[in-house]
Amino acid sequence: MPKKPKISSGERRNWLELSENGDPIIGIAQISGRDVRSVRAHIDKARLERNFEYAQRDQLRDALQGHQKDMLRLLRDLKGSINLPVLDDHEPVGLDFGLEDLWSPSDLARNRESPLPHRSIVIDGLDDPRSTAVYKLIRNVNGPQRIELVPEVTRLWRALKEHIRQDPLWRHEAAWLRSCLDELNRCAELNRAIRENAEKIFGLKVGLRGGPEEPWLAPGAITWVRTRLTNDALGNYVRIFDEDLDEASPGSLRSLYGQELTMGIEEAKDKLQRTLTAMEGSREVAAATESYKHLQEMTENIHDAIDEYLLIHYITGGCGLCQKLGGQ
Ligand SMILES: [Zn+2]
């Protein structure tokens, strides 16, 4: 008796469907010319195969969803990373007039082994450990040099780029990076100009710590002057000079100086006012204001571009990782 051909998976899948639609197994066995036991066994096998297929499909769908979620999270973090610097709170990245010379020689010696904390500074709000997208500002004594993406994110970053390679988002990102660096540099220039004036007017050097018995001017004084100047030039609300200082004095006015007020409060106020007057309407203030406004615009552009994806909860296109999952 010739052997009957092997039962294919398509055939058993067909039997499973017939059986689930109510056909009796005996009937299926008759039509297909197989014995009942074998039909029953193959229907069971088809069911297992189908369950496995479903499970696999679910797993793939979950994996693709996870992949999408990862990229959306990256975009959300990216958006969170791209902040307009808050003028009043701009000190960590803004105070760039060569911080090396703010350190005393002993501080420098102590920190020779470990890198100085200001050598690479994470841009405001970017140091959140939960965040995956982080830009890092690299600067040296000459001020801000470049902004880098922290390398740990590169694989997912590359995947995202593969997905939406042609998106205007990247053009906006590049424009934002340029604008951000420019703004930081204008801010640093303004700091330098204020510092020069302040050192002359106060007759004190700016530093983080003076030598023993030696008065000095704290960097906070420069930030304070800069904040007032830029807010004023941008048309933001600025408190009356005395009011601003009265709230601060004498404790906080002291923070504008090194350790002890080495001059009377009135004299200190007068010198701060003179520093402000010397800088008002200067080229550096105008440049810093312009670049801040430009950065504002670039920040809005990239936020909008990112929002397009965050609002539809879907990253179009595909990448090498999706391909592994059998996606696009
Ligand atoms: Zn992908």
Same domain, 76 and 190: yes
On whether both 237 and 91 belong to a single domain, the answer is yes
Query: How do the pLDDT tens digits run along the chain, 328 residues long?
Result: 567 788 899 999 999 999 999 999 999 999 999 999 999 999 999 999 999 999 999 999 999 999 999 999 888 888 877 776 655 544 444 455 445 555 555 655 554 443 333 333 334 333 444 444 567 766 666 667 777 776 556 688 889 999 999 999 999 989 988 998 888 888 888 888 998 999 899 888 777 665 556 667 777 788 888 888 988 998 888 887 777 766 554 445 555 555 455 567 778 888 889 999 999 999 999 999 999 899 999 999 999 999 999 999 999 999 998 888 875 4
Check whether residue 105 and residue 19 sit in a common domain. Answer: no
The span from the first CA to the last CA of the chain, in angstroms, equals 50
Residue 59 lies inside a defined structural domain of this protein? no
Chain segment 255-278, per-residue pLDDT in tens: 555 545 556 777 888 888 999 999
Is the domain of 43 the same as that of 74? no
CB 275 within 8 A of CB 284: no
* Distance from chain centroid for Cα 137: 11
The domain total for the chain is 2
CA of 306 to the centre of ligand 1 (A): 17
Full DSSP string of 26-95: HHHHHHHT--HHHHHHHHHHHHHHHHHHHHHHHHHHHHHHHHHHHHHHHHHHHHHH--PPPGGG-HHHH-
Domain for residue 242, yes or no?
Answer: yes
Are residues 221 and 257 both part of a single domain? yes
CA of 125 to the centre of ligand 1 (A): 28
Q: Examine residue 169 and state whether it is found in any structural domain, yes or no.
A: yes
Ligand 1 centre from 175 Cα, in Å? Answer: 25
Cα(75) to centroid of ligand 1, in Å? 14
Q: Are residues 144 and 16 in the same domain?
A: no
Q: How far is the CA of 83 from the centre of ligand 1 (A)?
A: 27
Which residues make Cβ contacts (< 8 Å) with residue 217, sequence separation at least 6?
198, 199, 202, 204, 205, 206, 207, 256, 257, 258
Question: In terms of C-beta density within 10 A (0-12 exposed, 13-18 middle, 19 or more buried), how is residue 54 classed?
Answer: exposed
- Ligand 1 mean position, distance from CA 309 (Å): 14
> Element (H or E) spanning 200, and its range?
helix 168-202
| 116 Cα: distance to centroid of ligand 1 (angstroms) | 39
For residues 22 and 168, membership in a common domain is answered with: no
Q: What is the pTM of this model?
A: 0.73
Ligand 1 centroid to Cα of residue 304, in Å, is 22
User: 């140091």: which residue's tokens?
Assistant: 127
Residue-range definition of the domain harbouring residue 194: 64-324
**302 CA from centroid of ligand 1 (Å):** 22
Whether residue 9 is found in the same domain as residue 112: no
CA of 320 to the centre of ligand 1 (A): 6
Question: Is residue 47 domain-shared with residue 73, that is, in the same domain?
Answer: no
User: What one-character DSSP code corresponds to residue 137?
Assistant: E
Reading the block at residue 143, the tokens are: 């001020």
CA of 299 to the centre of ligand 1 (A): 26
* d(CA 84, ligand 1 centre) in Å: 30
